[in-house]
Amino acid sequence: MTSTGANPINFAGRAANSPQFEALYAEGMTLVEETAAYLDGPGRAASKHLNAKAASLYSAESIRLTTRLMQLASWLLLQRSLNSGEMTREQVVQERRKLRLGGGGNEDEISAWSELPPGFRDLADHATRLETRIRKLDESLMRENATPEPANNQVIAQIDLLQTAFARR
C-alpha cells in the first residue's frame, strides 16, 4: 500500500470550532465586561484609599490589564469570525499578526502587588490564566496552519504525526 502523504488530525482546529471554544469566548467577553465594571466602580473607589506607591502601580496595572483583555477579545473575535465564515483563514492569520498575546509581566514579582485591592488582583489573575489558555490554543493553530515540509520518509512522517497528536498542551 503506497501513501502520497500524511494528513495530520487538526485537533486545535476542532477545539477552536467547538462548544469548548464557545465557553472560552463567553468567559473572555464576560471577563472584559466584569473588568470594565470593576474599574469604573469598586476599583476606582478602592484606588483612592491606596498609598502613593500602590496607587501608581494600580494605575499602571489597570492599563496593562485592559490592554491584555483587548488583545484576548480581539483574538476571540477573530476566531469566531473564522468559525462563522465571516473571514477566511488567510484574513485571520493576517489580522492575528497584529495581536500581541503574552508579554505581560508576572504580577507575583511586583513588590507592592499584595497592596492592590483583592478584586483587582482576582481579575488580573483570571486574565492571566485565560491568556495562557488562549496562547496555547493559538500556538497550536499557528503550528497547524504552517505549511509543512514534504516528508520523504514515511516512517518519519508517522512519527511526526504521533508527536503532534501527543504534544503537550
CA distance 114 to 96: 34
Task: Assess contact for 92 and 82: CB atoms under 8 A.
Answer: yes
CA distance 41 to 29: 18
Low-confidence ranges of the chain (pLDDT < 50): 1-4, 8-12, 151, 169
Residue 68 and residue 104 in contact, taking contact as beta carbons nearer than 8 Å: yes
Burial of 14 (0-12, 13-18, 19+ CB in 10 A): exposed
Please give the model's pTM, rounded to 2 decimal places. Answer: 0.73
Give the per-residue pLDDT at 11: 44
Taken in order of first residue, the domains within the chain and their CATH numbers are 11-165 (1.10.8.930)
pLDDT, position 148: 53
| pLDDT at residue number 1 | 44
